Amino acid sequence: MRVVVTAVGPNNWGLADPIIQYLTTVGATIAEIQMYNHAPEGLFALMLRCQWPGRRDTLAELRSRMAEVGADQGLSIRTWARNGTGPPPRIGDDQGVPDNDRLVRILDESEADYLVLARYMRVLPAAVCWRFAGGRIINLHHGLLPGFPGAQPYRDAFARHMLTYGATVHFIVPELDAGEQTIHQDAFTVAPGTPLEEVTRLGERENEPRCLVEGLRRVVDGEVELHYHKVVAVRKAP
Each residue's pLDDT tens digit, 62-77: 999 999 999 998 899 9
**Would you say residue 97 has pLDDT above 70?**
no
Query: Quick one: pLDDT at residue 96?
Result: 53
Same domain for 114 and 15, yes or no, is no
Cis bond upstream, residue 146 (ω within 30): yes
- Stretch 175-184: mean pLDDT, rounded? 79
At 233, which amino acid appears?
A: A
Same domain for 123 and 23, yes or no, is no
Residue that terminates a domain, selected from 54, 81, 108: 81
- Stretch 187-203: mean pLDDT, rounded? 97
Same domain for 21 and 116, yes or no, is no
Strands 230-233 and 224-227: antiparallel
Quick check: is 43 in a domain?
yes
Same domain for 211 and 178, yes or no, is yes
- Stretch 116-141: mean pLDDT, rounded? 90
Q: Which residue would you say has higher pLDDT here, 25 or 178? A: 25
Residue that terminates a domain, selected from 22, 57, 81: 81
pLDDT band at 91 (very low <50, low <70, confident <90, very high): low
CATH code, domain with 165: 3.40.50.170
Same domain for 146 and 209, yes or no, is yes
pLDDT band at 166 (very low <50, low <70, confident <90, very high): very high
Catalytic residue among 94, 113, 177, 221: 177
Query: Quick one: pLDDT at residue 86?
Result: 58
Residue that terminates a domain, selected from 60, 81, 102: 81
Same domain for 100 and 217, yes or no, is yes
Same domain for 69 and 121, yes or no, is no
Quick check: is 86 in a domain?
no
Query: Quick one: pLDDT at residue 54?
Result: 75
Same domain for 213 and 111, yes or no, is yes
Quick check: is 228 in a domain?
yes
Same domain for 55 and 171, yes or no, is no
Same domain for 54 and 156, yes or no, is no
Q: What angle do CA 150, 152, 158 make, to 5 degrees?
A: 120
Same domain for 178 and 199, yes or no, is yes
Quick check: is 9 in a domain?
yes
**Would you say residue 204 has pLDDT above 70?**
yes
Percentage of the chain surpassing pLDDT 90? 62
* CA dihedral sign of residues 87, 92, 95, 96: negative
The structural domain count of the chain equals: 2
Query: Quick one: pLDDT at residue 159?
Result: 97
Give me the domain span that covers residue 43.
2-81
Query: Quick one: pLDDT at residue 6?
Result: 95
Q: How many angstroms separate the CA atoms of 26 and 52, rounded?
A: 9
Quick check: is 68 in a domain?
yes
**Count of Cβ atoms closer than 10 Å to residue 227 Cβ:** 14
Could you confirm whether 113 is annotated as catalytic? no
CATH code, domain with 66: 3.30.70.260
Same domain for 70 and 134, yes or no, is no
Q: How many angstroms separate the CA atoms of 50 and 90, rounded?
A: 22
**Would you say residue 176 has pLDDT above 70?**
no
Q: In 3D, which of 36, 218, 65 has the Cα closest to residue 133? A: 36
Quick check: is 238 in a domain?
no
Quick check: is 166 in a domain?
yes
